Structure 1
Amino acid sequence: MDASSPAEIVRQFLRDMERLDYDSALKLVTDTCEYTNPPPLGVVRGPAGIRGVLEPFFAPTLENEFRILREASSGPMVFMERLDRHRLADKWVELPVTGVFEVHDGRIAVWRDYFDITTIMSQWPAA
């Protein structure tokens, strides 16, 4: 990894995820990265755990956009208020999210997303 700032590493991770480039994005997380979502989704660990949650969730998307509305960082901590937008076959779905990341040695070690699960699930296609 290069010596990019923690905020730039997170921005690159989100750009990769917009394109659903899991291979590139997951190179930016540690093997033990803890990814937390609101209940009932909960916590998964490592690249395989993250991919196991995101790949099936994003399967119906035709396009993704993660708009960063506000950003703050202090040392390894990065806070990003985002508007996550997902184009489905018949509509765009938007979800306000606040992400909290910890970056150590050039990779994301902790990723917590805070959002209203009902907002996204009420708009998402049934599995």
Structure 2
Amino acid sequence: MRDEDPQAVVEALIDAFNRRDGVAVAALLHDDIMCIGIPLPPARGKAAALDLLAPFLAAEAIDWQLHAIAVNGRTVHTERTDRFRFTGADWTQVRAAGIFEVAEDGRIRAWRDYFDMAELLAAMPASGSQDI
């Protein structure tokens, strides 16, 4: 991906999550990404970011609903409801506001999600919430 439209890159990431396609998610992340699920500590580098995202990609089904998206240069702002269905459980959801910085090479260099930690912990299965 070279000089990809930043909005298209973020929409591709959301689509990759909805397909539970970890390979596609990884391809969209810059090697030097800083990924932060605020209020959690930052994950620096692609491997750390993928470790942070692994409990979410482990869901049986994912349905991230994009409510709003805005672009300022190479920065993309989103308002989403991230829905997950884990094995043996009903759908759960977390409301999130995300800010993505897309590098010139079309990969996400920074990703900051803002959410309510109590809402996130309630949405995750008991075994997965300990990893967050």
In the alignment, the residues of structure 2 paired with residue 57 and residue 71 of structure 1 have an alpha-carbon distance, to the nearest angstrom, of 22
After TM superposition, what 4+ stretches of structure 1 lie above 4 angstroms from structure 2?
none
Determine if contact 1:101/1:110 at 8 Å carries over to the other structure.
Answer: yes
Q: CA deviation at 1:18?
A: 1.8
Q: Which has the higher helix share?
A: 2
Sequence identity, in percent? 32
Partner in structure 2 of residue 30 of structure 1:
30
**Partner amino acid, structure 2, of 1:64:** I
Pair 1:20–1:46, CA change in 2 (3 A): farther
Give distance in 2, aligned partners of 1:124 and 1:101. 23
Whole-angstrom distance in 2 between the partners of 1:94 and 1:7: 23
The match for 1:67 is 65
- Find the counterpart in structure 2 of residue 76 from structure 1: 74
- Map 1:21-60 to 2 at 5 A: 21-39=21-39, 41-59=40-58
AA matched with 1:11: E
User: TM-score under structure 1 normalisation?
Assistant: 0.91
Give the secondary structure class of the aligned counterpart of 1:36.
strand
* Shift in Å, 1:19: 1.9
Over aligned residue pairs, what C-alpha RMSD do you find?
1.3
How many Å separate the matches in 2 of 1:71 and 1:47? Answer: 24
Q: Deviations over 1:56-90 (max 9, x none)?
A: 3442x210011100110011010000010001222
Aligned residues: 125
TM-score (norm 2): 0.87
Partner of 2:11: 11
SS in 2 for 1:4: coil
Q: Quick one: structure 1 residues 57 and 65, their matched pair in 2 at CA, closer, same or farther if it must change by over 3 Å?
A: closer
Task: In structure 1, list runs of 5 or more residues that go unmatched.
Answer: none
Deviation at 1:4, TM superposition (A): 2.7
Q: Residue type matched to 1:113 in 2?
A: D
1:25 maps to a residue whose letter is V
